[in-house]
Structure 1
Amino acid sequence: MMRFLMFVCADPELTGEGDPTEWLTSTGERRLEGSRLRPVSDATTLWPKEGGTFVSDGPFAETKEYIAGYDLIECADLDEAIDIAAKHPVAKFGAIELRPVWP
């Protein structure tokens, strides 16, 4: 089994309709954890700086899309992870980025 982190990305101006209940039910025990994230206005970014760390308010980059949430899933392979991600409600109007988690 492999674990994948799903970054759920969306443009706040292009929110769509979608009830996650069906997706959560169909995913079942393969979804290990997940949650929505607070808005990018609440983000804090840390940068290396000579002699310490630079801390700034806001996200890493100025983009329309932002990470709105995450899900940690456990699947047999990438194909199964893609199948699960494609059924996520946000996949209809946003982007889902899948990243394998180091074993």
Structure 2
Amino acid sequence: MQYAFLAYTPPEETDRATRPIPGALADLFDQPDVTGWARLHAHESATTLRNDEGRMLLTDGPFIDSKEYLAGLILIEADNLDRALAIAEGMLQETRPGTAIEVRPVLAGHFRGA
């Protein structure tokens, strides 16, 4: 089964585009279970499009206002949720304090790899 890890991080003062990924975390991205990942720009770069009863509303910024923001998306293959959580825990140990990883199953047939 495919799972998506949504990685949330606290706001930071450094430029994410130029900050390197820590070596141990980069090594985890190379695991055979990881089928794809993307690192995202800071939340200020987000634009949100909402359907408001047929009217499309365009707003600057992330979908929600919170202390954390979506920093990246990692796709993995795992036999079950327990295995997916174990992989996420290994990745989370290599991140900075305050980071969170939300684990969600991907709908079957709705992933198209690059």
Is 1:47 paired with 2:46?
Answer: no
Which of 72, 75, 79 matches 2:78? 75
Give the Cα–Cα distance (whole angstroms) in 1 for the partners of residues 54 and 107 of structure 2.
31
Pair 94,14 (structure 1): closer, same or farther in 2 beyond 3 Å: farther
**Contact (CA 8 Å) 1:10, 1:95: kept in 2 or not?**
yes
Number of residue pairs matched by the alignment? 99
Which of 61, 64, 74 matches 2:64? 61
Which 10-residue stretch deviates more, 6-15 or 80-89?
Answer: 6-15
Q: Does the residue aligned with 1:76 lie in a helix, a strand or coil?
A: coil
Give the Cα–Cα distance (whole angstroms) in 2 for the partners of residues 13 and 75 of structure 1.
31
Aligned match of 2:18: none
Which of 97, 100, 108 matches 1:95? 100
Give the Cα–Cα distance (whole angstroms) in 1 for the partners of residues 3 and 13 of structure 2.
26
Percent of aligned positions that are identical: 35
Pair 9,22 (structure 1): closer, same or farther in 2 beyond 3 Å: same
Contiguous gaps of at least 5 residues in structure 1: none
Larger % of strand: which? Answer: 1
Give the Cα–Cα distance (whole angstroms) in 2 for the partners of residues 62 and 13 of structure 1.
15
TM-score (norm 2): 0.76
Larger % of helix: which? Answer: 1
TM-score (norm 1): 0.83
Cα RMSD (Å): 2.2
Aligned match of 1:5: 4
**Contact (CA 8 Å) 1:85, 1:91: kept in 2 or not?**
no
